[in-house]
Amino acid sequence: MIEQKRIGFIGGGQMGEAIFSGVLASGLVKPEQVSVTDVSAERLDTLGKKYGVFTAVNDGANSGARVVIERSDIVVFAIKPQYARPMLAAVSGAFRSEQLVISIMGGITLGFLEEFFPQNPVLRVMPNTPMLVRRGIAGIAAGAHASEADSALGVELFNLVGMSYLLPENLIDPLTSVSGCSPAFAYLFIEAMADGGVEKGLPRDMAIRLAAQALAGSAEMVLQTGKHPAELKDSVCSPAGSTIVGVHALERGGFRNTVMNAVTESCDKMIEVGKKA
């Protein structure tokens, strides 16, 4: 049960913060159960004061990482993938065999991780930043030594900050491009809709909130009704109405083709990053 586990984060950046802040907001995990290390003392000072978690600066000898590992039952690697190999090589020997290793490093495969953790249960997880507001999505792939209990623990952890899917590793990169990269695409869409509203006279702040709420409400309609997005779209498009004219304008600009390209090219990039690690 997650409320009985101590959780360590190697890396205190935006994604790491999104996860542990959401977990703490659930109330099941207390600040004293969370440890964070990072190379930036200033960043750790901010996180420690804001959340009340234990922090340790990581130096050239990786002393902070070793302290966090010692204090934790679950260790989350939340660093950039280009730093994966030197970090894992430096600290893998400090792990106890029963510790659950979770990687949220983009493109880093289970096979790569298990070179450094041949005995530990390992989960490869791809989260997204809306975990900061507990509306995130995570894809979880289990390594060779991860038991059903280990996978269930990972699902329980990430369900605290949204929803999670246990899936084969070959689907992790496609999931990342759809749910991990897409918040940026959604922000662009919100900004563009707001810009259109501003052009027609709406105040900027109002236009942004209107666009964001419309997108959030539309997403909730898909989730709650279970209807295909095309069916919901058709229900809004009255014959000869303003909405179908707007849809036509989007199609004229190659909207769906552009979005599909954004998703597939993001996926290809994630695979490329993993190969370079």
For the residues of 135-191, what is the DSSP string, one character each? -EEEEEEE-TT--HHHHHHHHHHHHTTEEEEE--GGGHHHHIIIIISHHHHHHHHHH
Amino acid at 118: P
The DSSP string of 180-249 is ISHHHHHHHHHHHHHHHHHHTT--HHHHHHHHHHHHHHHHHHHHHH---HHHHHHHH--TT-HHHHHHHH
Q: Is 183 annotated as a binding residue?
A: no
What element of type H or E holds 121? none
User: Phi-psi region for residue 188, left (φ > 0), alpha (ψ -120 to 50) or beta?
Assistant: alpha
User: Which residues are bridge partners to 125 per DSSP?
Assistant: 140
229 is in an annotated binding site: no
208 is in an annotated binding site: no
Q: Is there a contact between 188 and 211 (Cβ–Cβ < 8 Å)?
A: no
- Please tell me the distance from the alpha carbon of residue 91 to that of residue 209, in angstroms, as a whole number: 45
Q: Is 11 annotated as a binding residue?
A: yes
15 is in an annotated binding site: yes
Annotated ligand binding at 12? The verdict is: yes
Has 81 been labeled as part of a binding site? yes
14 is in an annotated binding site: yes
Task: Please tell me whether 80 is known to bind a ligand.
Answer: yes
Binding-site residue positions = 10-15, 78-81
* Residues contributing to the annotated binding site for NADP(+): 10-15, 78-81
